[in-house]
Amino acid sequence: MSIIHGNQPKVVKGIPVQTKNTSGYTGLFIPGPTNIPDCVRMALNVSMQDMRAPDFGELTLPLFAGVMRVMRTETAEVFLFPGSGTAGWESCIANLFSAGDRVLMSSFGQFSMLWVDMAQRFGLEVEHCEVEWGLGVPHQHYREILQQDKHHRIKGVFACHNETATGVVSDIRAIREILDDLGHPALLCVDGVSSVGSLDFRMDEWGVDVIVSGSQKGFMLPTGLAIVGVSQRAMERRTAAGLPRTFLSFDDMLKANATGHFPYTPATSLFHGLRASLEFIFSEGLENVLARHTRLAEAVRAGVQAWGLELCAREPELYSDTVSAIVVPDHIDSAEILKTAYYRYNLSLGAGLSKVAGKVFRIGHLGNLNEIMVIQALGGAEMAMRDCGVDIELGSGVAAAQSLFIGNPQQPVRKAA
């Protein structure tokens, strides 16, 4: 906003503000992009290099191996496409299916719904299980549909591991068990954009055929890499797929990746950041990373309970350790809370999307995060909610989180890389 040109000041809850307060820094508590560690941010600041140089693989080949460790796979192919998680979704569909193929999908939030929409646009025949938002993958319904599919027309079973819009996590292992119990050969394709690197995910152990992630969540990087893992079983089936693909072709990538190169100009700076991010994760230890996410999420949930509010996720087993979607009272517009938090308190919270727009706000608690940062998010959210008329006791959520933290001291966090 330009004061020179005489623009009228913004007014937030009756208080004029020329622009967002620029002192200090904005607390970032959306579920992606997440806060970037300083070592990763500095690693991004590199001179450009020749992506066709014979030694380029010295940078990239270890990245494939590092991502495999995070995904917990020893056999999958890893692809690093320039793009977001949506590009990863598209690579899965375009490389492994044909128009008219039947697939089983469910939607229970904005992002699972968008994946269904993409599959339909590609001409797949989608067996679509619509689920109430706040619930997760309908395992029993999946079993019933797959049990009836005697001729194995269903070629793929899709599932969103962590639905970012509603803060719901689903049991992926249970889907594999259903497929194995029924002897069904469908590929298991998983959206792990807001789970990989933050929640327990075991590609090989759970029999996942495709896992899609993105750089801007648990990998703590800017948006720009679609990070995809593909099982050897899925790679073998790609030859029968009939959809066109060029930019997102597994074949083109696989051929170039053998020497650490790419079929087109890659996101080299992000590769340097990914190397630093993987070192950061492994220096803490992946198990410690997952435990930290659980601990911080429990503190946020304790704060929400102290406020007398509820989560969008309906049951404790569905609660996500990376994002909490908090339901506001009926007479409150959550969009006003977001605006107040942002302009008055330099705090970015996640918006309610689509069916829950205006009904929830989200606190992202994943990536480069610690106890003090969680306290900041809860304290800022409390002030914004009170400003917007939510009847909560100031300090109640902060105190609940503090009590959890001091009663459960953090184990040693970081070891030498």
pLDDT value at residue 410: 59
User: What is the value of pTM for the model shown?
Assistant: 0.93
| Burial (CB count <10 Å: 0-12, 13-18, 19+), residue 102 | middle
Cα–Cα distances in angstroms (integers) from residue 309 to residues 118, 150, 363, 381, 384, in the given order = 34, 46, 14, 13, 15
Nearby residues of 19 by Cβ (< 8 Å), 6 or more positions away? 1, 10
Provide the CATH number for the domain formed by 39-282 in this structure.
3.40.640.10
pLDDT value at residue 412: 46
Mean pLDDT lowest for which of 78-82, 238-242, 338-342, 411-415? 411-415
pLDDT value at residue 1: 43
| Common-topology check for domains 10-30+285-406 and 39-282 | no
What mean pLDDT comes out for the span 33-60? 97
What mean pLDDT comes out for the span 86-98? 98
The rounded radius of gyration (Å) of the Cα atoms in the chain is: 22
Tell me the per-residue pLDDT of 3-20, one tens digit each, with 9 for 90 and over: 444 455 555 555 555 466
pLDDT value at residue 9: 52
Residue that has been written with the tokens 């809850």 in this structure: 13
Q: What is the architecture of the domain spanning 10-30+285-406?
A: Alpha-Beta Complex (3.90)
Q: What does the mean pLDDT of the chain come to?
A: 94
The answer to whether 163 and 138 are in contact (CB under 8 A) is no
Tell me the per-residue pLDDT of 367-406, one tens digit each, with 9 for 90 and over: 999 999 999 999 999 999 999 999 999 999 999 999 999 9
What mean pLDDT comes out for the span 171-197? 98
> Where in the chain are the domains?
10-30+285-406, 39-282
* pLDDT above 70 (res 315): yes
Single out the residue of 149, 105, 111 nearest to residue 128, CA to CA: 105
Single out the residue of 266, 278, 302, 295 nearest to residue 397, CA to CA: 302
What mean pLDDT comes out for the span 287-315? 98
What mean pLDDT comes out for the span 140-166? 98
pLDDT value at residue 416: 37
pLDDT value at residue 375: 98
